Amino acid sequence: MKSLLSTLVLLGAAGLVAAAPARQPNIVFIFSDDHAYQAISAYGDARKLLETPNIDRIGKGGVRFDRCLVTNSICGPARAVILTGKYSHLNGFPNNSNSTFDGAQPTFPKLLKKVGYQTAMVGKWHLGSDPTGFDFWQILQGQGIYYNPPMIKNGERVQMTGYVTDIITDTSLEWLQKRDKSRPFLLMCQHKAPHREWAPALRHLNADNDRVYAEPPTLFDDYAGRGIAEHDQDMTIEKTMNDRDVKFLPPAGISPAELKVWNEYYEPRNAKVRAANLQGKDLVRWRYQRYMHDYLATVRSVDESVGRVLDYLDQEGLADNTIVIYASDQGFYLGEHGWFDKRWIFEESVRTPFMVRWPGHTKAGTVNNDLVSNVDFAETFLEAAGVPVPADMQGRSLVATLNGQRPADWRTAFYYQYFEYPTPHHVRPHYGVVTDRYKLVRFYGTGEDYWELFDREKDPLELKSVYADPSYAATKSALERDLARLRTELKVPDEIPPRWLGNGGAGGGGKKKAKQAQKE
């Protein structure tokens, strides 16, 4: 024994014995769908849309990232990127329309499970195939509905009763209570809210007391100074919102008792609107107010859910060794440019909320402005757990950043690519590069290819392309070099298969708004 100890001491002195691994942290990943950073009070939107005290708790106790960008601003593809740490062109899920996630490929939950983590996925999955790499999963069918949703529990269909955000939270907490308490865990708690059609919980129907919300300065944007893509989209409050969106129709799945309460709130207000026969800008203004009431009410339920999870961690003594993340699959438009939805490289779409609390690592109240991304999440979780990061993952771990140590070689340019066209919303395929100040973007694949360049320092609302301005020639050349380098490094194919566009490829499909709404 003495000889063995002596040998270990000598090896340790030579640096050949690894230090004992730190206790592996638990990971709670709380994820919402289409949650705009503008609708989180910690991000300080000028309209002060609502207070989100529980989501804010995560940022106050850790790091709030202010430039977390997504690789492809749409629900399913964002989820695939997070699971794999790879861009859409490598993980095989470029769009919502005809993609199915290949569950056989490596994912960070599988790698965590291999080293002893218990893993659970609860809520919105939206990837076509069954979840893999989870000890327990209970997911919404497809897009899911807000009231009394059917779900799939470990492969078996179950009918749930209640409001979807509450159900997802209840199921997540039940799993936490029943878990093996001797092992670390990963919980992915993934909400449907605040996805379209923004159906509030009954308790929140008049939570804002009929508040009149400030309008964004670009609510009536005419898209001057930009190309055909911005003019030709189909995602405006004016033309695209339908009767279910504005609550002239009740939500799917609602019970007779729930519908009675629902109608008592909405129908008197709807009757006044119908009688007024609003037209033009007056109709847009009314729809914006209804949209804000409903969207923000669904966020209230998510914030309550976050509070319940954080309180559980505190009560069970788990908070000190648990990484808590709040994020969304991408950003969302809350009337900016007259839009709802996402998809664009533009700021409200490409930028997602992202907050991380990791006691003993994150400094409370930190704000980070680095270009980070959802492609970095998998690598971060793996390094935090002491698991080697596969070489073919394309993001970078944020562990050093969370510890307050910014890597000297951190990215200064970020690659983005969107595929799905023509339906829904007729947003043209595009790719581009984003820096702290500029965005260079190429619209492609429709026979009307062109470029745009935006200077966010001089034009923070992204209203005018300066691509043709000769004073930006040097900037444009530098960005073009960044773009070419990133496309090479990320192994982006020069030509994309037509099926990646979805809906039959460019020129296929049709608008079919009502049918498509559940696929978005």
Select from 244, 268, 284 the last residue of a domain: 284
Radius of gyration (C-alpha) of the chain in whole angstroms: 23
The answer to whether residue 285 scores a pLDDT higher than 80 is yes
pLDDT digits (tens, 9 = 90+) for 420-445: 999 999 999 999 999 999 999 999 99
Within this chain, do residues 135 and 273 fall inside the same structural domain, yes or no? no
Rounded to whole angstroms, what are the CA distances from 459 to 43, 434, 455, 511? 20, 14, 6, 32
- Averaged pLDDT for residues 284-306: 98
The answer to whether residue 4 scores a pLDDT higher than 80 is no
pLDDT of residue 50: 97
15-44 exposure pattern, b = at least 16 Cβ within 10 A, e = fewer: eeeeeeeeebbbbbbbbbbbbbbbbbbbbe
Determine, yes or no, domain membership for 117.
yes
Report how far residue 192's alpha carbon sits from residue 201's, in angstroms, rounded to the nearest whole number. 13
> What is the count of structural domains for the chain?
2
Within this chain, do residues 177 and 242 fall inside the same structural domain, yes or no? no
The answer to whether residue 404 scores a pLDDT higher than 70 is yes
Report how far residue 466's alpha carbon sits from residue 305's, in angstroms, rounded to the nearest whole number. 44
Determine, yes or no, domain membership for 232.
yes
What CATH number has the domain bearing residue 71? 3.40.720.10
Is the peptide bond between 238 and the residue preceding it cis, with omega within 30 degrees of 0? no
Within this chain, do residues 249 and 125 fall inside the same structural domain, yes or no? no
Within this chain, do residues 385 and 479 fall inside the same structural domain, yes or no? yes
Report how far residue 326's alpha carbon sits from residue 140's, in angstroms, rounded to the nearest whole number. 20
Question: Over pLDDT 70: what percentage of the chain?
Answer: 92
Within this chain, do residues 393 and 275 fall inside the same structural domain, yes or no? no
Within this chain, do residues 330 and 408 fall inside the same structural domain, yes or no? yes
Report how far residue 375's alpha carbon sits from residue 392's, in angstroms, rounded to the nearest whole number. 12
Rounded to whole angstroms, what are the CA distances from 240 to 205, 206, 243, 286, 446? 23, 25, 10, 14, 22
Tell me the sheet residues that pair with 414: 434
Select from 267, 284, 301 the last residue of a domain: 284
Rounded to whole angstroms, what are the CA distances from 452 to 141, 262, 456, 475? 39, 45, 13, 13
The H-or-E segment that residue 442 falls in is strand 438-443
Res. 504 pLDDT band, cuts 50 70 90: low
pLDDT of residue 520: 57
Res. 503 pLDDT band, cuts 50 70 90: confident
Is the peptide bond between 21 and the residue preceding it cis, with omega within 30 degrees of 0? no
Within this chain, do residues 361 and 468 fall inside the same structural domain, yes or no? yes
Mean of pLDDT over the chain: 93
Determine, yes or no, domain membership for 1.
no
Spatial CA neighbour of 323 closest among 19, 22, 18: 22
Report how far residue 32's alpha carbon sits from residue 302's, in angstroms, rounded to the nearest whole number. 8
Task: Tell me the residue type at 334.
Answer: L
Rounded to whole angstroms, what are the CA distances from 17 to 1, 115, 169, 384? 17, 20, 43, 20
Specify the pairing of strand 322-328 against strand 63-65.
Answer: unpaired
Within this chain, do residues 470 and 367 fall inside the same structural domain, yes or no? yes
Lowest mean pLDDT among 162-171, 381-390, 511-520: 511-520
Determine, yes or no, domain membership for 13.
no
Report how far residue 367's alpha carbon sits from residue 37's, in angstroms, rounded to the nearest whole number. 14
The answer to whether residue 208 scores a pLDDT higher than 60 is yes
Spatial CA neighbour of 349 closest among 418, 300, 291, 284: 418
pLDDT digits (tens, 9 = 90+) for 454-464: 999 999 999 99
Task: Tell me the residue type at 415.
Answer: Y
Residue numbers of the domain that contains 409: 22-201+285-519
Within this chain, do residues 157 and 262 fall inside the same structural domain, yes or no? no
pLDDT digits (tens, 9 = 90+) for 237-277: 999 999 999 999 999 999 999 999 999 999 999 999 999 99
pLDDT digits (tens, 9 = 90+) for 45-61: 999 999 999 999 999 99
- Please give the torsion angle defined by the CA atoms of residues 482, 485, 488 and 490, in that order, rounded to the nearest 10 degrees: -60
For the chain, how are helix, strand and coil distributed in percent, rounded to 5? 35, 15, 50
Determine, yes or no, domain membership for 14.
no
